Chains A and B, each alone.
Chain A
Amino acid sequence: MMSQTDETPAVAKRRDNNMAESNNQSAETKLSDVHKRIKAAFETFDNAANNTVDVREIGTIIYSLGCFPSQADLHDFIAEVEEDHSGYIHLDRFLPAMTKVLLEHKFPPIPKDLLLQAFEVLDKDNKGYLEPEELTKYMTQEGEPFTQEEMEEMLTGLADHERNVIYYKDVINQLAIDPDM
């Protein structure tokens, strides 16, 4: 089985074919497909099969649909769709809101070159890699900071095993967007 992160020519062709297909589809079919995708992702976390999910899972669902919201974006979205601080979100409210997000490309993916630039900004000495301490400093103190657990997982996942540094160019390529999303 191919790893999710590589894209063989066959898979790329399939994706291109699907995209060509979707460009030729009518608006209704496209909408219906979007609805299906949203529902499928939602269902995965709908444990009791009653069209509600825990609000804490909404971020995961939105991300898995190929969107890249910031934490602030997520808070705003949740505020719109949550049922009076019940802790649950119902599909009836999620579906239209999420459809809008997808059709308007509200939280588009980050282009690779922009990502590379971001890493290069942090790599002050232009070494081509980041030390764990460097990355930790930025990730846990700047922007929308990581928790300690998130940081540990990131370091374990991204650091080169032998040299214990993060070769960000390689990492960016490895964690490429899933072609099937």
Chain B
Amino acid sequence: MGCGMGKSELQAALLIQRWYRQYVARLEMRRRCTWNIFQSIEYAGEQDQIKLYNFFGFLMDHFTPARNLISHIFRENEICRDIEWERYFCYKSIEVPESYTGPHLTFPMTFCGVSKLMEAFKHKQQLHARYVLQILGETWRLLRILPNINYVSVCHNQEITICGDLHGHLEDLLLIFYKNGLPSSEKPYVFNGDFVDRGKNSLEILLILFGFLLVYPNDVHLNRGNHEDHIVNLRYGFTKEILGKYRVHGKKILKLLQKIFSWLPLATVIDHKVLIVHGGISDMTDLNVIERVDRHRVREACWLGLITILSNVRILTSYDWFDGLVNSTDISIQIVDLLWSDPMPQNGCIPNEVRGGGCYWGPDVTEEVLERHNLQLLIRSHECKQDGYEFCHNRRVLTIFSASNYYEVGSNRGAYIRMGPDLVPHFIQYQASRTCRELTLTQSVGWTERSALRALREQLFVHKSDLISAFQEFDPNNTGMISLRHWASATETVLNLGLPWRMLRPQLVNSTKYGMVDYQQWIRELSITEPKLEISDTSILETMYKNHSNLETIFRIIDTDHSGSISFEEFRQTWKLLSSHLQTEISDEAIADLAQSIDFNKDGSIDINEFMEAFRLVDLSDVYFYLCSKFRPLVTLLHEGT
């Protein structure tokens, strides 16, 4: 190599290569830190949620008023037979008005019908509630006759396509179909769960997938993910999406979806060799057991904590809805493991404390489970990957993730798998949106970083008082300064996110002098606007910030008729519940005060959406930045004025 180039060119090239590689590595370090931030905040949220449900279980045992409040949520009228449900879900009485400009569907569903649907969604049209209920009804009927595990074989000339999490990212699904072709009997597909939540088009994705399922029931296979769970949907956006899009029929649609989710199959096996499941496995995984289970009776998988607690309380076994759950605690655990677990590099099988459900399983468990079932590969999803896919456990476990730009524009690529009869996976990667493909590495890292830091500053802000207390412990003489080491240690103790605070320090703290942090000033500098509420008790405000996700989840659970508002009394109950869970004191007076101030309509009830809007955190530094860029002359003027 050299083509007649001299020594000096060689040296020069070597130097430049070395220099540039260092630059790229620094960017990669930043990107990885950003990633860790997003991921730890995301998982902390999931963990938070599971804790909340465990708490409900505790309440059922000990807190009588709450029992009344919550028991009507649990009581599912399981005694209603499906035929009565069908009457309830009947779409026939719903009229489609003349003014409706969206797509009209005919049944039985055809390929043209689904194509029409996709076109409509591309043009941002909304399907009428009548047709939504009709598709969902047909889907429900089909899913009820499907087994827990789909056994699929790949024919000689065929390839099967396997997709991971989509999370409401319609652009990604359309991109996959564009690159790979639409599902058909020549082009079978497996979709490995988490179709909904987070993205804005969860329903559109479901309708398209269900549409193809109805047209090609032998060639389209759907696995349940941990987000196909109506309690998780309350927190992560799907419930909100449906209620926002369908004000009149939203709750009926949600109810039917609840049933559909519980009837989704749990796994797909290809040629008895490749197992596809959303989360993963555990040392307890036994497909023979899973095959025989009544999968629809093990409803919200994330109520496992509750089940474990309640199974110890004999008095509650009188509830007939409860029977199926209690007898199958072990099976419930197996199913939760399938939907929530993550692989780890070390051997063993330990509870997944980060997510709060499922387990972490090691390469030894992979070997054992695969061998026991005579399988050669496990394909799963559940975790976002930079390149859309990743092998682990000696290439016996493959993670596939299909939602690109999951955390932020430019954060990651999506991917899907094509597999022929040789069962060797081939990957196709992509990234939706033209803008982000044009971003250079530097720009996309910067963009994602800003977003992550914003999220992190929000977390820091909501833990203000705890942070100050923690800092003060390191500052007994009240100098107002602490060392960087102590700053990092205190911050980690309070936030418990497992982040490398020392590495993040330059991005978060401007005011250091000789390695010391002026923490009071730093807290002040976390400039985030206060909500539009006038409340005397500021401690309740902080509790609100910290727990606003939990709060919203509890609100939506209490709002059983999905009207979007709750009464004062229910609001008061919610706070009592929450303060008991958090083991803090919140006086009745403070609650009444709060309720008054957020009753914006002064009609004695609280609109959940308005409430959440009212104290949504806005990062002031963003607002300032935006203003500066748009209105430079004005801002200069204002500055000169002061």
Contacts and interface: CB of A to CB of B under 8 A. Distances in A.
Interface of A: 1, 4, 14, 17-18, 21, 36-37, 40-41, 43-45, 47-50, 52, 59-64, 67-71, 88, 110, 114-115, 117-119, 121-122, 138-139, 141-146, 150, 153-154, 156-157, 175, 178, 180-181
Nearest to B450: A1
B503 A44 contact: yes
B1 A142 contact: yes
B254 interface: no
Interface in B177-214: none
B441 A50 contact: no
Contact of A139 (B17, B26, B36): B17
B515 A63 contact: no
Contacts of B513: 17
19 contacts: A1-B507, A17-B514, A41-B503, A44-B32, A48-B344, A48-B345, A63-B22, A64-B28, A68-B19, A71-B21, A110-B15, A122-B9, A138-B5, A142-B5, A144-B18, A145-B1, A145-B17, A146-B17, A157-B440
Grouping DSSP codes into helix (H, G, I), strand (E, B) and loop, the A interface class, with mixed when no group exceeds half, is helix
Given A64-B26, A115-B19, 11 more contacts: A17-B514, A41-B29, A44-B32, A50-B345, A62-B25, A88-B345, A110-B18, A115-B15, A122-B9, A142-B13, A154-B20
Contacts of A64: 25-26, 28-29
B345 A143 contact: no
Contacts of B12: 117-119, 121-122, 138
B346 A153 contact: no
B18 A70 contact: yes
Most buried by B among A70, A142, A178: A142
Contact of A153 (B9, B14, B441, B502): B441
8 smallest CB-CB distances across A and B, nearest first, come from: A63-B25, A142-B13, A118-B12, A143-B14, A143-B13, A64-B29, A121-B12, A180-B506
Contacts of A44: 29, 32-33, 36, 500, 503
Contact of A21 (B21, B25, B507, B514): B514
B5 to A, nearest CB: 6
Given A121-B8, A142-B2, A142-B9, A50 B346 contact: yes
A148 B8 CA distance: 24
A63 B29 CA distance: 9
Contact of B25 (A36, A60, A153): A60
B18 A45 contact: no
B465 interface: no
B512 interface: yes
A169 to B, nearest CB: 14
Interface in B344-402: 344-346
Q: Among B16, B28, B33, find the residue whose CB has the most chain A CB atoms closer than 10 A.
A: B16
Nearest to B3: A141
